[in-house]
Structure 1
Amino acid sequence: MPAAAAALRWSWLLGVALIAPAALPAGGAERRQPEVRRRDAGGPFLSGSDVLLQGSPLVEAPALRHLEIGTPLQLLRRWRCADGHEWLQVQVASGSALPSDPQPRRGWIHG
């Protein structure tokens, strides 16, 4: 019986050790709080050129959607990479896309 209890205890510990890191962000937690847009700030801004909405703030990230010039966007946060490049997390403003539109509405653009 003590061997079964020890095996159960070790399997529980191994299970927690394997699942817990999945909840952490890649590369560890961010030290500073991201800049989040205030809800009472001004309205949406318009994209100044044709841009690609990307899945993450990386140059090699997959493109989720092509945004045409003049697409209304809402700024959610800014991200500055270690190499100095700035990325903006944006959301296509409501009203510019139909609710039944299957394309992603939120993603990253190179600033």
Structure 2
Amino acid sequence: MRTYCSRILFGALLLVIGIGYLGAALQLWDFTIFVPGWWTAFLILPAISSMLHYGLKISNLFFLLFGAYLLAYANEWITFRISWMLIGAVCCIYLGCRILFGKKVTYYEYKFF
């Protein structure tokens, strides 16, 4: 029953958002949801949920910080822009430290797909 109710609520929410943006695209009305960068909640909320269920891990901390950065940048609270080269460099440093100092690493641990 709970799954059925959550499906109905989530579906209705997506329907309302879609109709709102359709009206805005057709210039029938002005439609915005909450604040600029609201979509970063799709990164921040699952990261917080993961922290509460599984504890603090580097992956959920990364998504939380990345979502918070995107929210702050969308609202112009900060002006620092992160480049893909910077993200790649940080990932290489993390993986290198994990391989050198972490537990035994297997190939299957770092599957990205």
Specify the TM-score bucket, using the shorter chain as the normaliser: under 0.3
Where relative contact order (Cα < 8 A, 6+ residues apart) is larger, the structure is 1
Higher helix share: 2
| Bigger Rg over Cα | 1
Q: Decide which structure has greater strand share.
A: 1
